[in-house]
Amino acid sequence: MSSVSRLFEQFDAVYFDLDGVLYRGLAPVSGAAETVSELVRGGCAVAYVTNNASRTPGEVAAHLDELGIPAAASEVVTSSQVAVQILCEHAAAGSRVFVVGGAGVEQALLDAGFIASRDPRDCVAVVQGFGPLVSWEDLAQASYLIQGGAIWIATNLDSTFPTQVGIAPGNGSLVAAVRNAVGREPDGVGGKPDRSMMDRAMAVVPAKAPLLVGDRYDTDVAAGISVGIPTMLVLSGVSAPADVWASKIRADYLGESVRDLITEYVGAQERSDGYSCGEAKAVYQVAESVVYATGGTRLERLRAADSLKWSLVEQVGVDSFAEGRISLDLGE
């Protein structure tokens, strides 16, 4: 992770997660439009890969366009599309499917030749995704169908998602409610980290040297690892420095936001007593079981600390960080 000029110049395509990366709720993340526009001008292809199943690709593209972010519906991959792709392995086109979620779930079913129904009668399957109007009644009817033998596909398992107000319950929390009622797991899950999501994205926007940018380790970074492509974790959404420290998997790059794609990227460098990054340094005090990161910006301190953490993993094990036996002091 050495220093380079502008990070995006190493890649011929960038796959962006959306919630917490380019926008929070309806509001853009600062610098998102500028960043994506700069990538496109620089000849870098872009695609948008979202676990949020509530909207259709066309609606997502229109929202991005309103925010000044160049996007076409053909560049958008949603977990609804992948969930329905999985459903096709279990049920024939023309089957009646109970819809839990927004218009994105319904449209994906219709596009694949299913009968999308908000009425549970005669439904042989349930596709459960997020929608702001999902009700207790929807979850109850889905549970009854599943207990009666219906196929159950979830679009994604994100427990939360970021909005402009704060962190809200995500589809994973709603899936957990149904799981508690029916006593089993879904028959399939469409969203990241399942590699089906990234396989579809890479088919939509092929690339020889792609980068995946997201705000979660459990979905975004894990998805990149599943298909062997580099990842960038940004702190503009769900994840905070504490999550970086506790994660059992590693993002290749860290950024405060997507803006770090188009500014000079300063990577961490090993030194005799730890790691440095820009004006920051990170050292491990063995007697205290603490890594101290000082100087520079918060991001420089975090990059230095993350590199030091992973240099210690073979010696102390990743659980030492995940379980807090070795703590991080960022000087905040």
Strand partners of residue 255: 234
Identical fold between 4-76+193-261 and 80-189: yes
Label the pairing between strands 125-128 and 96-100.
parallel
User: What confidence score (pLDDT) does residue 2 get?
Assistant: 46
Q: Does domain 80-189 have CATH number 3.30.365.10?
A: no
User: What confidence score (pLDDT) does residue 257 get?
Assistant: 98
pTM over 0.85: yes
From the first residue on, what is the mean pLDDT of each consecutive set of 10 residues in the chain (332 residues)? 75 97 94 98 97 95 97 97 96 97 96 98 97 96 98 96 90 97 97 94 97 97 97 97 98 98 96 97 97 98 98 96 97 86
State the Cα–Cα distance between residues 126 and 300, nearest whole angstrom. 46
Q: How many CA atoms lie within 13 A of 221 on its CB side?
A: 20
State the Cα–Cα distance between residues 267 and 272, nearest whole angstrom. 17
Give the residue numbers annotated as catalytic, written as ranges. Answer: 17, 19
Classify each residue of 135-173 as buried b or exposed e, where b means 16 or more C-beta atoms within 10 Å of its C-beta. Answer: eeebbebbbebbeeebbbbbbbbbbbbbeeeeeeebbbe
Residue 213: its H or E element: strand 210-214
**Class in CATH terms, 4-76+193-261:** alpha beta
How far apart, in Å, do the first and last CA atoms of the chain sit?
Answer: 24
Q: Where are the domains of the chain?
A: 4-76+193-261, 80-189, 266-329
Q: What are the CA-CA distances from residue 21 to residues 105, 162, 224 (Å)?
A: 22, 9, 15
User: What confidence score (pLDDT) does residue 250 get?
Assistant: 98
User: What confidence score (pLDDT) does residue 4 get?
Assistant: 53
User: What confidence score (pLDDT) does residue 314 get?
Assistant: 93
Under a CB-based contact definition with an 8 Å cutoff, are residues 198 and 207 in contact?
no
